[in-house]
Amino acid sequence: MAGELELRLRDRLAKLRGLHLPGSSVSDEVRRIEQQIEVMETGDERSEDEIWNSVELARHPERPYTLDYIERLISDWFELHGDRARMDDPAIVSGLGSFAGRTVAVIGHQKGRGDAVKRVKRNFGMANPEGYRKAMRVMAIADRHGFPVITLVDTPGAYPGVAAEQHGQGGALAASQATMARLLVPTVACVIGEGGSGGAVAFALADRVLMQQHAIYSVISPEGCATILWRDAGQARKAAAAFKPDAAHCLELGVIDGIIPEPEGGAHTDFDAAAIMLGQSVRSALEELGQVDAGELRRRRRARFRSIGVVSS
C-alpha cells in the first residue's frame, strides 16, 4: 500500500519545496510529509495482532480518561457545565484550567469507569448533541479570551439515541467542527482512546491532531465494520486489520501530525507516566502554534484539512 502513496507524497514534497511562499506555512506541510515518508520507510507493516492489541488497549476499561489527564496536567481546574438550553451532558467534560503556566480550555469525551451505574452515567463517552453544544460554548469563551483549546477525543461515537437524533445530532457534530474551524486560538486535539467517527471528528478539527500510541481513529468501529462486512460483530479483529485504525497507520496517511508515546504495556499501566508524555506533546505543540499569527493559524488549519484525501484524474 505504501508504495503508491509514498511516490505521491515524494512528488508533493518536491513541489512544496519548489514553492517560495511568504510565511512558514509551507515548511509545516513539508515537515509533516517528511514525517509521513519516514514512518513509511522505517515502519514495518503492523500485524493483525499488533493492531488488535491497540484496539484492546484503546478501549481498556482501566485506560486513563479525560478527567484522569486533567487531574494530572491541569491546575486550578474549573469545569464549565451546560449547553444553556436543555441539559448538561456528562459524556463531555469541558472547562478552564492552567496548563504550563497559562490558561487553557480543555474539552473531552468522558467515559465512566467502574460499575455499570458509573459507566451509564457518562453514557460510555457517547455524547448527545447537547454535549457538543456545551463544548461549542466553551470554545467561544476560549476564543474570546485567547485561551488555547485542547481537546481529548475518546468516544465510540456520537450517541445513537432517539432524542439525540431529534435534537440534531448531525447538525451539532457539523457545528462543532465549524466552530473549531473558526477559532482564532491555537488548538490541539489528542485522540486518547477511541476516535470513533463523527463523534470524534467533532473535536478533531485542530491545528495539531495527535494520537496516543495505542489510540484508534476510524470511520467506523471494528464491530460496526464487521457487522456491515460479515453481518457478524465477532469478526471485529479481522475488520480492524483491514481498516487499520491504529496511530501508525493514521500518521502514515497524513491524517494525524504525531504519535504520543505510552508507557510500556499501555497508558493504563501508569497514569502518571502517560499524563507526562501527553502533557509534553501538547505543550510542545502549543509552543509551536504560539508563534503563529491568529489569522494565519486559522488559514493553515483549514488548509491542512482541505488537503487530506487522495484522488486521481
Partner 1 sequence: MASRIDVSIEHKHAPPDPSGSKKHPNTCPKCSSHYREDELISNLRVCAQCGYHFPVGALERIQQLLDSDSFIEEAKELRSADPLSFFDLRSYKERIAEAELKTGLGDALLMGQAKIEDQDCQLTVMDFSFMGGSMGSVVGEKFARACERAIERNVPLVSVNASGGARMQEGIFSLMQVPKTVCAVENMHDARVPFINVLTHPTTAGLLASFATLGDVTIAEPGTLMCFTGPRVVQQTVREDLPDDFGRAEANYRFGHLDAIVQRQELRAVLGKLLRLFNHGR
Contact set with its own copies (CB under 8 A): 84-86, 129, 133, 167-168, 171-172, 175
57 contact choice in partner 1, its own copies, none (CB below 5 to 8 Å, kind-dependent): none
141 contact choice in partner 1, its own copies, none (CB below 5 to 8 Å, kind-dependent): partner 1
Q: Which residue has the cell 493504563?
A: 268
Give the span between the Cα atoms of 206 and 208, in whole angstroms. 5
Core vs surface per residue 143-168: b (16+ CB within 10 A) or e: beeebbbbbbbbbbbbbeeeebeebb
Query: Nearer to its own copies by C-beta: 171 or 290?
Result: 171
Query: Nearer to its own copies by C-beta: 140 or 273?
Result: 140
CB of 224 vs partner 1, minimal distance in Å: 8
Query: Nearer to partner 1 by C-beta: 13 or 219?
Result: 219
CB of 288 vs partner 1, minimal distance in Å: 19
- Spatial neighbors of 44 by CB under 8 A, at least 6 apart, are none
Query: Nearer to its own copies by C-beta: 171 or 265?
Result: 171
Strand locations in 162-302 (E): 187-196, 208-212, 216-218, 258-260
Query: Nearer to partner 1 by C-beta: 42 or 313?
Result: 313
Give the span between the Cα atoms of 268 and 68, in whole angstroms. 11
Task: List the beta bridge partners of residue 190.
Answer: 152, 210
218 contact choice in its own copies, partner 1, none (CB below 5 to 8 Å, kind-dependent): partner 1
Strands 102-109 and 149-155, by their bridges, are parallel
Query: Nearer to partner 1 by C-beta: 241 or 274?
Result: 241
312 contact choice in partner 1, its own copies, none (CB below 5 to 8 Å, kind-dependent): partner 1
Estimate the crossing angle of helix 236-243 against helix 48-58, to 10 degrees. 100
CB of 62 vs partner 1, minimal distance in Å: 25
Amino acid at 97: G
CB of 173 vs its own copies, minimal distance in Å: 12
169 contact choice in partner 1, its own copies, none (CB below 5 to 8 Å, kind-dependent): partner 1
